[in-house]
Amino acid sequence: MSLRAKIFLLILLVVLGAATFYLRSLAKRVFIEPTRHAEETARAKLSEFALQSKKGSSQTATLYFPSLEQGKLVPEGYSITWAEANVDRVRQVVLALAEGSHQGLRRVLPASTSVRAVFLAPDGTAYVDLSNDVLSEFPPGIETESLAIYSLVNSITMNIPSVKKVQFLIQGQEVETLDGHADLTAPFAPDPTGIKSGS
């Protein structure tokens, strides 16, 4: 084989190698990423469905938003048209909290937080799987994390009586803490003592 042919073969091999890598990344983009995208779209539709339930009349739910100045949760009336299923109602409460207070109270969750899934166990424990957006812009601290957790737990359990406890998952995983301080390894029972009295 002539030197030229050898060089040509060598270059061909390099080009083939590069093409293989490119094809792999292309296949990933074509076959895998759309699946993820579809999953996100499905979740968004579920959330939308939960929020836009038009059956029944609108009712006033009580949501609990944190006040760091008082170290307490402050109740706020919130108009919700309840969905039929309890899991959808849980989703409605969480999304309403993510939407934020209408009275200028502190936001519990970033607006970008999505509810990946909600499961309701026969013992009344609701498993709420939040997206990891919950940690974006979240100010870490004992008080902030504790108030955020009980804001969610009290708002869910006090508006949906069949839910007795709430266990949080983040991105499908059980996590040790919310953001380094508050223990998230066990299901939470509601705690009315943290609610501002006289409200």
Partner 1 sequence: MHSSTLRRFHESRLFIASIVLLALATLFWPAREMRSDNFVFYFPSSRRLLPFETIQNTKYLPLLQILNAVGKVGGLQEKKNSLKVWFGSAQIELRPDESKVRVDGTFLNLPQPVRVSNGQWVVPVDFLTTVLPRLTRQTVEYQEGTNRIFVGDVKPSSFTVRLDPLANGARLTVQFTEKVAVRTASSNGKWVMFLGDHPIEPMEAGYHFQNPYVSDLQFDDQDGVPKLVLSPTSSGLNFYPMLAEGGKILLADVLKPPPAVAQTPQPGQLPATPATTPSAAGPTLPPSEELPAAPPGPPLPVVVLDAGHGGAEDGGRSRDGLLEKDLVAQYVARVRLALLATNQYRIVLTRTGDATASFEQRALAANLAGALYFLSFHAGDVGAASPRITVFSFQPAAPPAPVTKKTPLPNFIPWAQAQEAHLDASRQLALALRKQFALINGVNVDTPATAPVRTLRSVNASAVAIELGRLAPDADSTPLTNPAFQQQVATAVVQALATLEKGGT
Encoded one letter per residue, x for contact with partner 1 by CB under 8 A and - for no contact, window 11-30 reads x--x--xx------------
Residue 191 interacting with partner 1 (CB under 8 A): yes
Residue 71 CA: distances (Å) to CA of 4, 101, 126, 156, 193: 79, 17, 26, 20, 11
In the block, residue with structure tokens 């937080």: 113
Tell the smallest beta-carbon distance from residue 150 to partner 1 (Å).
9
Q: Under a CB-based contact definition with an 8 Å cutoff, are residues 198 and 78 in contact?
A: no
| Rounded Cα–Cα distance for residues 134 and 130 (Å) | 7
Tell the smallest beta-carbon distance from residue 99 to partner 1 (Å).
21
Residue 139 interacting with partner 1 (CB under 8 A): yes
Q: Looking at 56, 140, 172, 192, which residue binds partner 1 (CB under 8 A)?
A: 140
* Footprint of partner 1 on 40-99 (CB under 8 A): 68-69, 71
Tell the smallest beta-carbon distance from residue 111 to partner 1 (Å).
18
Q: Under a CB-based contact definition with an 8 Å cutoff, are residues 38 and 160 in contact?
A: no
Residue 152 corresponds to which tokens in the numbers above? 């969610």
In the block, residue with structure tokens 């469905």: 49
Residue ranges binding partner 1 (CB under 8 A):
3-4, 7, 10-11, 14, 17-18, 68-69, 71, 139-146, 149, 165, 176-177, 180-183, 185-189, 191
